[in-house]
Structure 1
Amino acid sequence: MSLDKSAIRNASTVIVLRDRFDDPSILMGQRGAAAAFMPNKFVFPGGAVDPEDADIPLSAPLPEICRNRLSHRSEKGLENALATAAIRELWEETGLVLGQPGSWPDKPPKDWQAFANMGFRPSADALQFVFRAVTPPGRPRRFDARFFLVDSEAIQGDLDDFTHASDELSHLQWVKIRQAREFDLPFITEVVLAEIAERAKDRNPPDSVPFFLNNEEASLFLQLKGFSMPQHD
């Protein structure tokens, strides 16, 4: 079955934040010149949700406030698939592991075998849902992308070891937030960067999640508020 290129695909993007209380950096890489979507641009790791992502067992779930906000204006039951896609894309494109040590209850799918062979299961409890954007009409690919922020402290292993990465992104590197706009960035990445720069030193979930909705009628900048969870010491 061929993929409908005009369809809007659900996608997940991961912003890994390093040294957030000093001189924070984010992990970025460059898309290939022949890529159909955003060629040559520097981007965060990410990609489309695969059908199999919904069935991957997570060792720890998303925070409840993130699940709640992800469910707004979305198809029912998509939250785990979005989180799993974020972890998978981070692994595939950078070789970095967001997970916890442990054995899989069943044989992992092909896309997860190398991850499992490292001795880890994917874990979503460190992910923080911080932004959502729909690609404007008229682009060769359209995505409904959810952006997740994760502190580098949650990554297993060496933060500078990209030896397990695929070749989808080149020039993988930690970019200082204050220098990121010197790179060739997509417009939406610049918008997200502004949000992250404001939130770099705050570990708490945002009061609301910005939602940049582009459709045939208009471009809307909405807020996904969800509900506040009680704080416990």
Structure 2
Amino acid sequence: MSQPFDARADLADSPDVGARVRPRDAATLILTRSRAGQAEVLMGRRAPGHVFMASKWVFPGGRVERGDYTAPFATDLSPDELALLEREMPERRARALALAAVRETHEETGIIVGRPAPARSLAGPWRNFLSTGHQADLAGLRYIARAITPPGRPRRFDARFFLADADAMDLPARTDHGDELERVAWIPLDDLKDLALPAITRFVVGEVRERLAGRDPGRPFIRQLHGQHKIDRL
């Protein structure tokens, strides 16, 4: 069974400062692997001083950029995953979310979720990724959750969470990662209970456990309505 969502902790993660900010599309990629019979996930600890979830352990991700709508890719999302996303949005936007998840993962952790391709010189956010001689590999991404940051926060995102099995991919060697995450590590799922995780991250970890166990409870959609957190299954 999926674990309950801790609404009180979610509000504490990013207090209401009365800001009037519209949510921006964002995407997160949760990479898993198995080592010595244990499931591990790729995570990073955000640097202190961030206005959004400072010093918390999170999955790599970030907002969608304009370049994500036109970036080349080696493999597309599966027809089933595209169909799930197209219940909520046009195909082009769905693919841009998946591409943003791959790009942000590379920017923050150095991991290249891609397949070999001729190196390209392209201005914009995909410059570093494409210069490695790869294009995004979207075939293994699964859409598992959606969450909107509550109103009043200094940063608000309408985030989709994707899950992928790193063991099923031929991931190239890791490159240097940026400075948004002060540490990047593969962490056993059983060790996450001892880390400082945002409430939404802790909840999504429960969703990951469900899927690794072969269950699909549907995609949770977490947001706040009239001051109360609400969770539906898409």
Give the TM-score taking structure 2 as reference length: 0.84
Q: Which consecutive aligned stretches of 4+ in structure 1 deviate over 6 angstroms post-superposition? A: none
Pairwise CA distance, 1:140: 1.5
Q: How many residues align?
A: 215
Q: Distance in 2 between matches of 1:33 and 1:5?
A: 24
Q: Residues 21, 220 of structure 1: CA spacing in aligned structure 2 closer, same or farther, 3 A cutoff?
A: farther
Aligned to 1:178: 190
Secondary structure at the aligned position of 1:111 is classed as coil
Aligned to 2:71: 56
Per-residue deviation, residues 40-68 of structure 1 (Å, max 9, x unmatched)? 11100000111111111211111122212
Q: Distance in 2 between matches of 1:192 and 1:54?
A: 26
Pairwise CA distance, 1:200: 1.7
Match for residue 136 of structure 1 among 150, 166, 176:
150
Aligned to 1:94: 109
**2:51 and 2:154 in contact (8 A); partners too:** yes
Pairwise CA distance, 1:113: 2.6
Q: Following superposition of structure 1 onto structure 2, how do residues 141-156 of structure 1 map, counting pairs within 5 Å?
A: 141-153=155-167, 154=169, 156=171
Match for residue 212 of structure 2 among 179, 182, 200:
200
**2:65 and 2:125 in contact (8 A); partners too:** no
Aligned to 2:122: 108
Q: Distance in 1 between matches of 2:190 and 2:107?
A: 27
Q: Distance in 2 between matches of 1:109 and 1:121?
A: 15
Aligned to 1:212: 222
Q: Distance in 2 between matches of 1:155 and 1:179?
A: 26
- When the two chains are superposed, the root-mean-square deviation of aligned CA atoms in Å is 2.2
Per-residue deviation, residues 189-215 of structure 1 (Å, max 9, x unmatched)? 11001111122243x8x3621111223
Q: Distance in 1 between matches of 2:185 and 2:129?
A: 21
Secondary structure at the aligned position of 2:160 is classed as strand
**1:6 equivalenced with 2:16 (yes/no):** no
Match for residue 40 of structure 1 among 28, 40, 55:
55
Aligned to 1:230: none
Match for residue 119 of structure 1 among 133, 141, 149:
133
- Gaps of at least 5 residues in structure 2 are 1-18
Secondary structure at the aligned position of 2:144 is classed as strand
Q: Distance in 1 between matches of 2:143 and 2:35?
A: 17
Identity %: 34
Aligned to 2:201: 189
- Gaps of at least 5 residues in structure 1 are 225-233
Q: Residues 76, 102 of structure 1: CA spacing in aligned structure 2 closer, same or farther, 3 A cutoff?
A: closer
Q: Residues 215, 76 of structure 1: CA spacing in aligned structure 2 closer, same or farther, 3 A cutoff?
A: farther
Aligned to 2:45: 30
Per mean C-alpha deviation after superposition, the further-off stretch among 169-178 and 72-81 is: 72-81
Aligned to 2:93: 78
**1:166 equivalenced with 2:174 (yes/no):** no
**2:129 and 2:135 in contact (8 A); partners too:** yes
Q: Distance in 1 between matches of 2:233 and 2:39?
A: 26
Q: Distance in 1 between matches of 2:35 and 2:154?
A: 35
